[in-house]
Structure 1
Amino acid sequence: MKRTLGTCYYPEHWDEEIWVEDARRMADLGLTWVRIGEFAWSRLEPSPGDLQLDWLDRAIDVLNDAGLSVVLGTPTATPPRWMLDKYPDMIALDADGKPRGFGSRRHYCFSHAGFREESKRITRIIAERFGHKVAAWQTDNEYGCHDTVISYSDAARVAFQDWLQARYGTVEALNKAWGNIFWSMEYDRFDQIGLPNLTVTEPNPAHAQAFRRFSSDQVVAFNREQVDEIRAHSTAPISHNYMGRVTDFDHFAVGKDLEIATWDSYPLGFLEDRVGASPEHQRAFARQGDPDFQAFHHDLYRAVGRGRWWVMEQQPGPVNWAPHNPSPLPGMVRLWTWEAFAHGAEAVCYFRWRQAPFAQEQLHSGLLRPDSVEAPAMTEAREVASEIKNAPEVSIPCADVGLIFDYDADWAWAVQPHGAELSYFGLVLDHYRALRRAGLNVDILPPDTQNFDDYKLVLAPGLMHLPDGLRRALEQTKAHVAYGPRTGARDQDFRMPVPLPPAICGLDVTVARLESLRPDCPIPLAGGGAVQGYFEELETGIAAFLSTESGMPVAITSDNRSYIGSWLDTDGMDRMIQELCTLNNIQTHALPIGVRIRRTETEEFWFNHCSTSVETEIGPLAPASVTRRSL
């Protein structure tokens, strides 16, 4: 499959007289895909039952006539104002019980039955009308963006009670599973169970974790309803555009109902508002983006899409929504695009075609300025369009290392982080960073993976609940598995198991006690590096390959199993990864800061995320550049 480019377009924002010229310029640029329609409900149905679809028909025809393929979004992320008159209780409530109302987007609760029916209805209407004209679909837009998965509405409360009854059968079973004898929290009926907010102190963690699982299931069900409506009228592949570091629902579960996973990549915005980087790191990469955050999501969504994935929205210039919104260095738009292709993307689509002169996103750059003059990113997009004409086809990268990512574990850490700065996502990303600093390709693996034998090394950090199927698969693989920390620390209902964790077959190790550390109180490792944030005291008869300066074991190995009982800093992570790679005959590289490598079956890519030239083993790399080499 050829690598392709696209853009996001809003014909309803512009006079119809310029549609043809826009389409011509898109085709001349070398674009293949145009996503439209995902926010257009009020123009498609300005009042209940008043369907105005002809304009969208004409817009699709204009794009198709120019040789462009259309991705049509279902418009359910922006219900029109009349919908709230019809269903005033359809909006979500936040944890403080405050409504999240009309005036922007994503103003609905996934549990509201009336809105769910309206969502299915409008999806059915556009699928019937346009199913034969479009080349791909997108359901809704950015599930979970703006913290919109978890709702504390009455609709969510009633649906949660039904979900609990289906899961536990009897309220007595629920009381026992949750340990509700503690603080006299026992229930007599399912309809007594409220939502885990507005409690005097923290709610029962089992209650909070169950609500997280329920909330994720609501997203999966909502998405599936749209997919079913589309598939009844169209054979085109269906996608959803996920967002960076949004973990409130299980993307793997949503992805099982889709053909393609896409995500929205905003390297500079994300560095400012969600990477979790130090001020020094933010300054160093302010105009380039974090060297690993985008790559992590590329690999994650390749897994969610089971090999098929796109970037549906690629940042082309300054955005409007981050704490600070700098311009990218010259060359970075090209680098970001090729980075996605190097990780197996089929398409990269720039957001957006033309900068809007009105409303919330008027400071969000596009490929064109509001006056239709080319913005700086257009030059780099044109350069990539020329380069991909003779480039090899999309090639799925090969990796020696697999890294498990589990959304359920992320919820468990959020429910019980045990330290203010600690998160499962952060722990996994730190492991991923260390692997990338060592010059390695990495596959992100879902927790329902059954066979790990294609890998030399599998990392499984932070899996607080280790499901029986995953435990068996990891025990049976011939790959070297490195567990920890917090592996198996809770059962499925958030109880501490006995025997005590990690209870890994073939590893003589028990977590005797644990502590979370202040950021300014690391525990130094013998030989360099330190424990940061989280430390487990291990009882073990196995010699440690990493220990504290006082001699306490931190990381142990026995045969092809390892346990790492602490969250390590950068130097500690690098030492741990190097030890495991040496043990498993995996070749590593000592890369300069900001330089990353990616290999496919046909090409090798060297990315320089730095603002200065960097010397490497293949020679100097220019600032903010990508170097491609055939293999």
Structure 2
Amino acid sequence: MLYGSCYYPEHREPNRWEEDLSLMQQAGLNALRIGEFAWKRFEPVEGDYEFHWLDRFIELAGQYGIRSVLCPPMRTVPAWLVERAPDLLIVTNEGHRLEYASRYTFCINHALLREKSASLAAALASRYGSNPHVIGWHLDNEIGDEPDCHCLVCKVKWQQWLSSKYNQIDVLNEAWGTVFWSMEYDHFGQIPTPRITKADYNPGFLQAWREFRSDCSIDTVTLLSDAIRPHLPEHGPYITTNNQMYWSKRTDYYKMARYLDITGTNYYPPYGENCDTLAFGLAANRSFKKAPFHVYELRNEGHSIIGAANNTPAPGELERLTLHTIANGADGVFYFPWKRFPFGSEQNHGAITDFDGKPTRMYDECGRIGKQLRRVALQIEGSLIISDIAVLYDFQSRWHIECDSPWTGDKRLYEKQINMLYRTVRALGYNCDAVGINGDFSSYKLLLVPMLPIVDDELVMKLKLYAEAGGIILFHPMSGIKNADACYYPNRLHPEMIKLLGSRTLETVTSNPLSPVTFQWNGEQYQGSLFLEIIQMDSAQVLGTFIDHWFEGSPTITKQSIGEGHVWFVATFAEERFYRDFISLLCQQIGMSPLLNAVPPTGVEVSMRQSACGASYTFVINNRHESAEITLPSDLTDIWNGEHLSQNFTLQPYQVRILTDAGKMQVLDESIRVSL
């Protein structure tokens, strides 16, 4: 298990490195992420690499028991490269070429940038690929976070990509329906990139563009990975990178993960009582390879931003946040950054040590966490989150729901809905996974679908087979309505979706969030808003109806039996209270119990990791500044705090406990360091 930080030796006088490394060692750190912004120091003059300073630092860090995750940079380039090729800079959709004086302003498709960054990556890997102090290779930083580029290079690549995807221009015209507005193309060379224009673009055009830009990011990953792998020993360092937090929809991370050994992410949730609002991002990241992942940037000290809310951690919150990531599947945690920057764009960013490198309150808490991790890491490392419930996370559908069009409406609806479903399951005390459309549905008893507008024959058949085998699916509006080119199916639904739901959509109704609609289910009344579907029943059972407006009596909650399983449909986007009641009852009917056999108190997070040998570790984390009373099903041992707990105990504000059966507890000697 890695416990580390992001460090910038190029920012620091070499005679101060040892001072920093000594503090890191005392705090229990065993790894550093380095190099992602150091291209100019690696290659001060074109073709002239300078690695001696990096040699010294990696060796010195190794002497302190701290290994390096080395980041070959790509998207923060030296001035000499831009001077040689000014067209490296991104052209925005307004037609403006970005200026040099910032990061991520460079076209990732530009041949010279690709050549130079791959050469640098290969040179670094050739020098350090077998270095015992280099344990991982982190590809650039936040790939995909740059703006869409519309330069000539990207335009040509886009047209080539379309030609490869559709083969013939008539096939594209038919797929997109370009006959609308007389937009039919004669050849692929006529197709522009989606720059600013009078009205909105064809949805098929925008859907393809998002897939293209995602493939460009993935192509960048393969470029750097292919440059590095030949220089690594067979069972040597891993290759990874840091995905943006889940709100970034620009890259299909399920597809990208195929080219990585370990997935990674950044994690910057708010502090305070809304600290779990981004937690789905952790579930998503462990789902990309269905394995433990790393957090390569974890927030720590508050940022010096005037008026920022939920920004400054109370004592104990760094411990709570760190263990929250581990509880949700992280096997590596790196704080960003180790030392505050006295210069540059991020000089107000919080850090573990101050501008002069001296310890702060955050350092003291970091050290306490490191000391306790030494006791438990060997037990937890490699253990998995095993869930009976998953939320379906589909980038194709998200791209469509959040596309830049005036017809879209709330562009954060997909994000909000997926978050709400996940948050509800977790608040009820269950583990919950994310799963992609190509993932294994069969390991779950309950599949929650926030919305799934884009489906094809293969996906609908996969859902049908899952239900027939005993799976339970919960669908929402805008599911199964369009093909991969974002065109509606003639009957408003994919033909097999009509059979799967046992109903068909007759009409859609929109509702302002401030003017919700009311429906009844299970003897209670609830509210829905934004969008609803008026449906006609074929074979499904009606279990809830709207009770106001002109569509009073229209079905809201339906249930269709499919083989051994069931398909549920909620015809609107309901309030969170409904999902809490509905999912709770559904879990009872399925025969599932919460992790502690009870719904946890408000603000208390419960997660379980399980090892291959059968040991389980239940994390109980108080996310609030108030204490909470906990009742356990039996006496357990808290390996995090080294205590035996009776069935009733008090969880202090921001307190973390890791519970396991006392008989299985392994007490590790304090001298054992965290395993690398």
Q: Tell me the TM-score normalized by structure 2.
A: 0.86
AA aligned opposite 2:414: Y
Cα distance in 2 for residues equivalent to 1:418 and 1:530 = 22
The answer to whether the 8 A contact 1:292-1:436 is kept is no
Structure-1 residue corresponding to 2:240: 239
Cα distance, 1:162 vs structure 2 = 0.6
Cα distance in 2 for residues equivalent to 1:113 and 1:508 = 52
Cα distance in 1 for residues equivalent to 2:305 and 2:545 = 43
Cα distance, 1:627 vs structure 2 = 2.5
Match of 1:218 among 213, 216, 219: 216
Match of 2:384 among 396, 401, 405: 396
Deviations 1:41-78 (A, max 9, x none): 01111221222111111111111121111100011131
Cα distance, 1:572 vs structure 2 = 2.1
Match of 1:429 among 419, 425, 441: 419
Deviations 1:149-195 (A, max 9, x none): 52222221111111111111111111111101111111112111111
Is the partner of 1:135 in helix, strand or coil?
A: strand
Residues 612 and 100 of structure 1, relative CA distance in 2, 3 Å threshold: farther
Structure-1 residue corresponding to 2:255: 253
Cα distance, 1:447 vs structure 2 = 1.3
Are 1:88 and 2:73 an aligned pair?
no
Is the partner of 1:574 in helix, strand or coil?
A: helix
Cα distance in 2 for residues equivalent to 1:370 and 1:179 = 58
Match of 1:345 among 330, 333, 336: 330
Cα distance in 2 for residues equivalent to 1:586 and 1:149 = 44
The answer to whether the 8 A contact 1:331-1:624 is kept is yes
Name which of structure 1's ranges 474-483 and 432-441 shifts more when overlaid on structure 2. Answer: 474-483
Match of 2:397 among 396, 399, 409: 409
Superposed, which structure 2 residues align to 1:58-137 within 5 Å?
Answer: 58-133=56-131, 134-137=134-137
Structure-2 residue corresponding to 1:596: 605
Cα distance in 2 for residues equivalent to 1:400 and 1:592 = 21
Are 1:531 and 2:523 an aligned pair?
no
Name which of structure 1's ranges 251-260 and 474-483 shifts more when overlaid on structure 2. Answer: 474-483
Structure-2 residue corresponding to 1:176: 174
AA aligned opposite 1:220: I
AA aligned opposite 1:439: G
Cα distance in 1 for residues equivalent to 2:116 and 2:559 = 56
Are 1:459 and 2:465 an aligned pair?
no
Cα distance in 2 for residues equivalent to 1:101 and 1:320 = 27
Deviations 1:213-246 (A, max 9, x none): 1110111111101001110111310011112111
AA aligned opposite 2:436: P
Are 1:297 and 2:281 an aligned pair?
yes
The answer to whether the 8 A contact 1:608-1:626 is kept is yes
Structure-1 residue corresponding to 2:472: 480
Structure-2 residue corresponding to 1:495: 487
Name which of structure 1's ranges 542-551 and 176-185 shifts more when overlaid on structure 2. Answer: 542-551
Structure-2 residue corresponding to 1:441: 431
Is the partner of 1:453 in helix, strand or coil?
A: helix
Cα distance in 1 for residues equivalent to 2:514 and 2:316 = 38
Is the partner of 1:238 in helix, strand or coil?
A: strand
Residues 592 and 525 of structure 1, relative CA distance in 2, 3 Å threshold: farther
Is the partner of 2:386 in helix, strand or coil?
A: coil
The answer to whether the 8 A contact 2:273-2:603 is kept is no
Match of 2:457 among 464, 468, 479: 468
Question: Which structure's CA Rg is the greater one?
Answer: 2
Cα distance, 1:539 vs structure 2 = 1.5
Cα distance, 1:292 vs structure 2 = 4.0
Structure-1 residue corresponding to 2:671: none
Cα distance in 2 for residues equivalent to 1:383 and 1:568 = 43
Cα distance in 1 for residues equivalent to 2:653 and 2:93 = 45
Deviations 1:385-435 (A, max 9, x none): 122222222220211102111111111111266323543222211111111
Residues 547 and 378 of structure 1, relative CA distance in 2, 3 Å threshold: farther
Cα distance in 1 for residues equivalent to 2:38 and 2:313 = 30
Cα distance in 2 for residues equivalent to 1:290 and 1:498 = 44
AA aligned opposite 2:399: W
Name which of structure 1's ranges 539-548 and 41-50 shifts more when overlaid on structure 2. Answer: 539-548
Cα distance in 2 for residues equivalent to 1:77 and 1:483 = 40
Are 1:333 and 2:330 an aligned pair?
no
AA aligned opposite 1:534: F
Structure-2 residue corresponding to 1:143: 143
Cα distance in 1 for residues equivalent to 2:411 and 2:168 = 37
Are 1:572 and 2:578 an aligned pair?
yes
Cα distance in 2 for residues equivalent to 1:410 and 1:287 = 29
Cα distance in 1 for residues equivalent to 2:528 and 2:316 = 37
Is the partner of 2:558 in helix, strand or coil?
A: strand
Match of 1:507 among 476, 488, 501: 501
Count of residues in correspondence between the two structures: 608
The answer to whether the 8 A contact 2:402-2:411 is kept is no
Deviations 1:513-552 (A, max 9, x none): 2233222111122223311222122222433334322332
Residues 358 and 593 of structure 1, relative CA distance in 2, 3 Å threshold: same
Consecutive unaligned residues in structure 1, runs of 5 or more: 269-285
The answer to whether the 8 A contact 2:428-2:599 is kept is yes
Cα distance in 1 for residues equivalent to 2:5 and 2:196 = 43
Is the partner of 1:228 in helix, strand or coil?
A: helix
The answer to whether the 8 A contact 2:295-2:332 is kept is yes
Give the share of equivalent positions with the same residue, in percent.
27
The answer to whether the 8 A contact 1:507-1:558 is kept is yes
Are 1:195 and 2:193 an aligned pair?
yes
Is the partner of 2:99 in helix, strand or coil?
A: coil
Cα distance in 2 for residues equivalent to 1:625 and 1:374 = 23
AA aligned opposite 2:660: S
Cα distance in 2 for residues equivalent to 1:627 and 1:544 = 44
The answer to whether the 8 A contact 2:507-2:535 is kept is yes
AA aligned opposite 2:158: F
Is the partner of 2:241 in helix, strand or coil?
A: strand
Cα distance, 1:506 vs structure 2 = 3.8
The answer to whether the 8 A contact 1:331-1:625 is kept is yes
The answer to whether the 8 A contact 1:320-1:361 is kept is no
Structure-2 residue corresponding to 1:540: 537
The answer to whether the 8 A contact 2:401-2:411 is kept is no
Deviations 1:596-624 (A, max 9, x none): 21122322122221222234445432222
Structure-2 residue corresponding to 1:317: 301
The answer to whether the 8 A contact 1:4-1:388 is kept is no
The answer to whether the 8 A contact 1:554-1:565 is kept is yes
AA aligned opposite 1:587: S
The answer to whether the 8 A contact 1:143-1:149 is kept is no
Cα distance in 1 for residues equivalent to 2:408 and 2:341 = 44
Superposed, which structure 2 residues align to 1:37-56 within 5 Å?
Answer: 37-56=35-54
The answer to whether the 8 A contact 1:150-1:212 is kept is no
Cα distance in 2 for residues equivalent to 1:513 and 1:184 = 28
Cα distance, 1:264 vs structure 2 = 1.0
AA aligned opposite 2:56: R
Taking only aligned residues, the RMSD between alpha carbons, in angstroms, comes to: 1.9
The answer to whether the 8 A contact 2:617-2:658 is kept is yes
